Amino acid sequence: MNNSSFTLLRKGSSFYPWLIFIILLGSCDFIRVKKEAGEDEPLRKRVARVGNSYLYQDELIGIAPMGVESTDSVARVTAYVNSWVRKQLVINEAMKNIDINELEVERKVLDYRYSLIGYEYQNYYIKQNLNDSISDQEIEKYYKEGLDNFILKQNIIQGTYIKVPKSAPRTKQIKELMFSKKSKDQVDLKSYCIGFSAAYHLGDSSWIEFDKLVANSPLSEIPNKVQFLRSYNYYETTDDDFLYFLKIDAYKISDNVSPLEFVKQDIENIILNKRKVELARKLEDDVYENAAKRKDFEVFSN
């Protein structure tokens, strides 16, 4: 790179953001601006050259992990070299079209390097210290304190849905089995669905989006689904190839507060993410405070 000023005078459209991204990637051991030929590099074996920039053999160490088949190793190294050449050519082309302040680029490189290394250590620290156990009481407390955040965006139901080909046997028994409370009948219904249905969802305590449940069926074409849910607890319909059976045990209409069971997993994820954020902040604060106590750094006044 040359030492020209950083005004980034664009001579082409939207080239600058892309270039900076490439340069930042390049700083991370992928695109490297090599020393010019003859600068204290007499013993290093050159692998590729673009203009006055060189890629050396010792810089390919680690590209192919130990234990990888030789053919795969060659392929990996070849791909790396080809990628280096292509990206170096883009950088050289960019240098002809825009002026770059190298100090500003270096600052961005350092920020990017910090982000990569810091992110890796942050993940390591979080894995070592994260408590991923969440009690039902904690979930319920978060739910009750933020009910306005759990408004349904769709209609949901608890129930049973079965789609079977018209050619399936014993279809007249399906409704009876769906309404039966006997354990044997529930087992028979599940076995029947496994053997003959094209799609099914057996009733349990879980909530499911109504539109997702009845997708690819005549039920998905119902114009007023809210009125439908309020009017029926059982419904049968058909098309050219299939029979459809729907038993609705409970429902919740969109724009109402979601049942806790429906958003429980979301709440667990939210709580875990909050813990991760707190741990990341604690890590940075602890590192800073400990370094300050040891006087590992100084900030000099101008």
Handedness of CA 238, 241, 247, 248 (dihedral sign): negative
Q: Please, what's the b/e burial string for 130-142 (b: 16 or more CB within 10 A of its CB; e: otherwise)?
A: eeeebeeeebeeb
pLDDT beyond 90 at 6: no
Tell me which amino acid residue 152 is: L
Domain that includes residue 52, residue range = 15-100
Q: Where does the pLDDT of residue 66 fall: very low under 50, low under 70, confident under 90, or very high at 90 and above?
A: low
Give me the amino acid identity at 292.
A
Give DSSP secondary structure letters for 12-70: STTHHHHHHHHHHHHHTTSS--PPPTTSS-SSSPEEEEETTEEEEGGGGTTSS-TT--H
- Both 157 and 94 in a single domain? no
Residues 190-216 have pLDDT tens digits of 999 999 999 999 988 899 999 999 999
140 and 264 belong to one structural domain: yes
Same domain? 140 vs 277: yes
Query: Are both 178 and 237 inside the same structural domain?
Result: yes
Asked whether residue 10 is domain-assigned, the answer is no
pLDDT in tens, 244-257: 999 999 999 999 99
Q: What is the pLDDT of residues 129-161, one digit of tens each?
A: 999 999 999 999 999 999 999 999 999 999 999
Give the Cα separation of 215 and 175 in Å (integer): 21
- 159 and 34 in a common domain: no
* Residue 24 and residue 81 in one domain: yes
Number of domains in the chain: 3
Q: What's residue 48's pLDDT? A: 93
Please report whether residue 5 resides in a domain.
no
Output 23 or 118, whichever has higher pLDDT.
Answer: 118
Adjacent-strand bridge partners of 248:
159
pLDDT band at 4 (very low <50, low <70, confident <90, very high): very low
